[in-house]
Amino acid sequence: MDRTTGTSGLAGISAHVPLSPPTLADVAERAGVSRQTVSNAVNNPDLLRAETLVRVQHAIEELGYLPNRAARNLRTRASHLVGLRLSPVQEGTANAAMDRFVHSLVWTSREAGYHVLLFSGEGADPLEGYDDLVRSTAVDAFIVTDTYLGNPQATWLRQRRAPFVAFGRPWDDPEARHPWVDVDGAAGTELATRHLLERGHTRIAWIGWRKESRIGEDRRSGWSRALKERGLSTTGMASRVEDTVWSGRDASSHLLDEARPTAFVCASDTLAMGVLRTLAERGLHPGKDIAVVGFDDSQVAQVVYPGLTSVRQPLEEVAVAVVRALEDLLGVPTKVADGLLLTPHLTIRASSGA
């Protein structure tokens, strides 16, 4: 017995038990139609007269009815699930661009009637996890994000006729006909380099990734193009390293000693953080003594002192374009969207002398 209200504990609990979710029969009763009519409204709305469809839709909205997705999947042979393989985050990096993309993708997919099924990519095999999902037809399609040179995912999925859209260009197969969306990295680093040139810098160093990285070489080309347009030499002004803070620190230290640059453009915020560390160790001030620009506009770039200028990828736009390509691919009739290259922009902060 509850001493303050005079009611039993059991009664108090039962008063808070949630009501059962509305059923198809509840919707039919509210709309004054048959259960089959409600089913048609959910699965085959074209079969109903406009006024009947509107009445059923109002009843669904009022009751908060959620159609049985599993039952609908059995009828349509569609799961409305899209598979996305997540690889583990590399230690010692500041890159959270993938987090931004996944968040935007989940939201945009839901608006289009799909849900994203994340599966693990912790093993060394880049195809780990794909085979089970393809064999079980658990997903309608895949989104591929690792499109580096030699990655077998795209080829493997094409051979099995599994629908997919890639976030990233088919670097090793320019004749590929699958839909893809990518960000123009070269345009981003060219924008960053011109920004520094406009501030009077003529000795601008580059710190990028190993030569086998097509994405890294693409970003490097933007830096090189901007300097050569001004008739400035790139000889001895570049370094290719692993994407870690410590690699950026060591590379920038060497370049400062040997090439004497007044500014750095980096292939990632991770490498730029390494440059900032070198400057701090030498008592130099970013933006005043040496300018620094990163790539990805990570959360670290936004909070590190004095604020890191960085190329920001339009990942929200990428997610929208990927989902649109998926809708075309899974529609009737099927349509394969053309590859789409989006342009990033530069977020200017104090590290570049803003």
Question: What is the rounded distance in angstroms from the CA atom of residue 195 to the CA atom of residue 1?
Answer: 74
* CA distance from start to end of the chain: 69
Query: 204 and 262 in contact (C-beta within 8 Å)?
Result: yes
332 vs 286, higher pLDDT: 286
Q: Evaluate the omega torsion of the peptide bond into residue 333 and state whether it is cis, within 30 degrees of 0.
A: yes
Instruction: Give the pLDDT confidence of 78-106 residue by residue, as tens digits.
Output: 678 999 988 766 655 556 678 889 999 99
pLDDT higher than threshold 60 for residue 36 = yes
Give me the pLDDT at residue 263, please.
Answer: 98
Please state the pTM of the whole predicted model. Answer: 0.75
pLDDT higher than threshold 60 for residue 6 = no
Give me the pLDDT at residue 16, please.
Answer: 40
Question: What is the rounded distance in angstroms from the CA atom of residue 115 to the CA atom of residue 84?
Answer: 10
Band (pLDDT 50/70/90 cuts) for residue 175 is confident
* Structural domains in the chain, sorted by start: 9-76 (1.10.260.40), 81-184+315-343 (3.40.50.2300), 185-313+346-352 (3.40.50.2300)
Instruction: Give the pLDDT confidence of 114-142 residue by residue, as tens digits.
Output: 999 998 866 667 787 888 888 877 889 99
Give me the pLDDT at residue 208, please.
Answer: 97
252 vs 140, higher pLDDT: 252
Question: What is the rounded distance in angstroms from the CA atom of residue 272 to the CA atom of residue 192?
Answer: 13
Give me the pLDDT at residue 155, please.
Answer: 84
Instruction: Give the amino acid at 68.
Output: N
DSSP lists the bridge partners of residue 292 as: 264
Residues 6+ apart with CB under 8 A from 172: 149, 150, 151, 214
Instruction: Give the amino acid at 189.
Output: T
265 vs 36, higher pLDDT: 265
Give me the pLDDT at residue 12, please.
Answer: 39
| Mean pLDDT for all residues in the chain | 85
Give me the pLDDT at residue 77, please.
Answer: 53
The secondary structure of residue 296, as a DSSP letter, is: S
**How buried is 66 (Cβ within 10 angstroms: 0-12 exposed, 13-18 middle, 19+ buried)?**
exposed
DSSP lists the bridge partners of residue 302 as: none
DSSP lists the bridge partners of residue 141 as: 82
25 vs 203, higher pLDDT: 203
Give me the pLDDT at residue 95, please.
Answer: 61
Please compute the mean of the pLDDT values over residues 291-318 and round it to a whole number.
94
Instruction: Give the amino acid at 286.
Output: P
Please compute the mean of the pLDDT values over residues 31-52 and round it to a whole number.
82
What's the token pair of residue 18?
């949630």
Band (pLDDT 50/70/90 cuts) for residue 50 is confident
